[in-house]
């Protein structure tokens, strides 16, 4: 009888195995040095090619960003000049209307651009402050 109990216990005994999964991640243009070393072991020169690729991509991205910034600056400069010319023309028209005894229309033409530019300036300053407050949170 003792043999039967031992055989029963052996049947219920299971091998226990565990599986461990390891995950690694990185962010940025270059992998960690250990991975670069692995690429270099596969083929000499791979690590250098990966670094050159990252440098080329960074240079390209910086060139695009510089182009966008310069374009925005140029657009703002043109907009300011057009606004200045339009303001001078409207104010000149207003002075002409005042001299021509159409004072109501003349005063609107003279002071309208001033009111518009002042309100636009105040609006944009408040919008910038809200944006800075929102980003600073």
Q: Write out pLDDT tens, residues 50-81.
A: 999 999 999 999 999 999 999 999 999 999 89
Please report which helix (H) or strand (E) contains residue 94, including its range.
Answer: helix 46-99
Residue 4: pLDDT band with limits 50, 70, 90: low
Question: At 32, phi and psi to the nearest 5?
Answer: -60, 160
Q: Are 29 and 58 in contact (CB under 8 A)?
A: yes
Residue 103 is predicted with a pLDDT of: 84
Residue 78 is predicted with a pLDDT of: 95
Does 8 score more than 70 pLDDT?
no
Distance linking the first and last C-alpha atoms of the chain: 77
CA distance 45 to 36: 10
Residue 2: pLDDT band with limits 50, 70, 90: low
- From the list 47, 54, 60, 63, the residue with the least C-alpha distance to 28 is 54
Residue 48 is predicted with a pLDDT of: 93
CA distance 92 to 113: 11
Residue-wise pLDDT for 97-126, tens only, equals 888 888 888 888 888 888 888 898 899 889
98 against 16, higher pLDDT: 98
Residue 116 is predicted with a pLDDT of: 87
Q: Are 50 and 31 in contact (CB under 8 A)?
A: yes
CA distance 81 to 77: 6
Residue 35: pLDDT band with limits 50, 70, 90: confident
Q: Are 97 and 111 in contact (CB under 8 A)?
A: no
Residue 31 is predicted with a pLDDT of: 86
């Amino acid at each position: 009888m003792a043999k039967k109990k031992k055989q029963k216990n052996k049947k219920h005994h299971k091998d226990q195995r565990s599986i461990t999964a390891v995950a690694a991640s990185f962010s940025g243009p270059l992998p960690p040095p250990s991975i670069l070393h692995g690429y270099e072991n596969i083929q000499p020169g791979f690590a250098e090619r990966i670094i050159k690729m990252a440098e080329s991509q960074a240079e390209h991205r910086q060139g695009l960003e510089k182009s966008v910034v310069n374009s925005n600056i140029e657009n703002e400069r043109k907009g300011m000049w057009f606004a200045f010319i339009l303001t001078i023309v409207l104010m000149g028209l207003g002075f002409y209307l005042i001299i021509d005894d159409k004072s109501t229309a003349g005063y609107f033409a003279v002071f309208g651009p001033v009111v518009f530019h002042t309100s636009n300036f105040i609006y944009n300053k408040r919008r910038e402050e809200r944006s800075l407050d929102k980003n600073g949170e």
